[in-house]
Structure 1
């Protein structure tokens, strides 16, 4: 019994562990990518290389493991995959990296915390998320969504005083030089990141819908990365026309950014995201983004010497507060659905057991009747 209980606890904890590890992966990607962009790498080329690497990494596993269970590709599924490749790998990531160039890794991660709000609104509109205005937990989800968006606006428009942390002292000149070199523009960057988050939320919702008709996570991930490579290449050729040097890459931070983000944040993340959505839904997948922001803020100030400002910290706190209102409301939905599922499963098991017992007793009665009929006949003979 103890072993069964521990296994059940671990099974319930697996989605939480997986999504937390995803956030650590995203945090590392933000730091590595920001460093590569600071070194002059084109964000459009980075998107192409990222998904080319992801395709090469995930396609062999999809071919081997999904060979016997992969459903037939239909025109409807193929169009959904094309749209998936356009939404997140192409539009969102180009806007995300461009927004990061105009701001900092910490600012970008904090702005991405509006993603759960957008995902919630879309899931609500498509009836993938249950909302009852009369219930407190549903009201919390709605209020939390509004607070999250308000925190993002606060963080964008209010800078506040600079926070002098011990490990960033002496880097004022470096920060100002970096801002001039990369033409930092927080408002323009925030606008791009916000539009990218809308595309990302659409991608997550569409991925959840596509998995219902094409329930092979590895193959779907490989297709998304492949389409993202093709569509991203078309965009990169247009944006970097005549600039062949933008495509050059060596054994440096540019290659590290492409390989890391491709394997961890496209290949593995899309696959794990699909698995989690099957159990917990699309809103749950996006709900842990603030963890990534905290990790990036710490790593960014240490390794990239990014300066933190009071207004942006307050905005980030407001975003997290709103987000966890959404999470609290979401958690109140879970026990009801889980208990109802358990009750249905338990009643089904009891019915099945009773039917088997009844069938066995009927069989025994029929055998007894047949024997009673056969014996008198034998004696008369």
Structure 2
């Protein structure tokens, strides 16, 4: 999950540059799913050929809805919001996902919550502390840290009206965070009936590409938007398709299957820290004291939640062991 957040951190910087260059977010999502399909299909076909469950019509419909929710709705909203805002804001808003996922997981019984147990209280505190750290990073600035050297990479800015940027970016990003939390919960349910992460990633890429293509034809009226040159647009599509939509989605499914949706989403605050670091050292953006304080609080909350979940897992194993001996 740490490697996943590292990969996602670079994604936001590359895609922001390509959107400023003129790449359509809808075309971007379509092409990235096609790239992911081409890369993941051979691995899924050969590595899970014997372990892959039989695909029924009901399961195919479930995967179709999973792709519709997680790719066409969530990803399109997410990247369109990036077009109107900046990477730091978009990534900071992702820190609401662990809290939303935790609430949904408890309500749907994917996560055990025992408030009479200190470890159950620790999980709640860890989630709330991480959310508080994210809010501090977003709302509190404080002193400005002096840049150590000039920007190593310059991303040209695209002029957007302040009111339009704030309103559209906020609404689109909040909606994408809600749908992404629902997507993680649905992943956990689907993986129980189809425990083949590589194949599931491939099916999601295939269905997601088809759905995104239909959506792009409706939303993007400029035919020239489909033409991609040998520039930052192609780089962002290949990186997002191969690394993010392919390898990272597979890693998320695998971690979701092993540890559950709350564990998987709890690492998203790390991307806020990583993007702030990259933006400061590489892009020359301003770094505030509030970002540093918020990052430390996020890490404390993350470790509290992980400790609560690991201790709960240990207790489950200990209580089950006498039954196995009998």
TM-score for the superposition, normalised by structure 2? 0.87
* 1:61 partnered with 2:61: no
Which residue of structure 2 aligns with residue 229 of structure 1?
209
Greater helix share, 1 or 2?
1
**What pairs with 1:1-381 in structure 2 (closer than 5 Å)?**
19-152=1-134, 155-156=137-138, 162-167=144-149, 178=157, 180-181=159-160, 185-186=165-166, 188-241=168-221, 243-310=222-289, 319-341=298-320, 347=325
Secondary structure (helix, strand or coil) at the match of 2:228 reads: coil
Q: Deviations over 1:157-176 (max 9, x none)?
A: 556665442336899xx89x
Counterparts in 2 of 1:304 and 1:182: CA distance versus 1, 3 Å? farther
Q: Deviations over 1:63-115 (max 9, x none)?
A: 22333332222222112111111122111111211222222222222221221
Gaps of at least 5 residues in structure 1 are: 1-18, 352-381
CA distance in 2, matches of 1:103, 1:145: 26
CA distance in 2, matches of 1:338, 1:91: 39
By relative contact order (CA 8 Å, sep 6+), the higher-ranking structure is 2
Query: Over alpha carbons, which structure has the higher Rg?
Result: 1
CA distance in 1, matches of 2:29, 2:166: 22
Counterparts in 2 of 1:192 and 1:144: CA distance versus 1, 3 Å? farther
1:214 and 1:220 in contact (8 A); partners too:
yes
Gaps of at least 5 residues in structure 2 are: none
Which residue of structure 2 aligns with residue 354 of structure 1?
none
2:133 and 2:295 in contact (8 A); partners too:
yes
Counterparts in 2 of 1:179 and 1:340: CA distance versus 1, 3 Å? farther
Secondary structure (helix, strand or coil) at the match of 2:49 reads: coil
Runs of 4+ aligned residues of structure 1 deviating over 6 Å after TM superposition are: none
CA distance in 2, matches of 1:155, 1:291: 12
TM-score for the superposition, normalised by structure 1? 0.76
Aligned length, in residue pairs: 325
1:156 and 1:190 in contact (8 A); partners too:
no
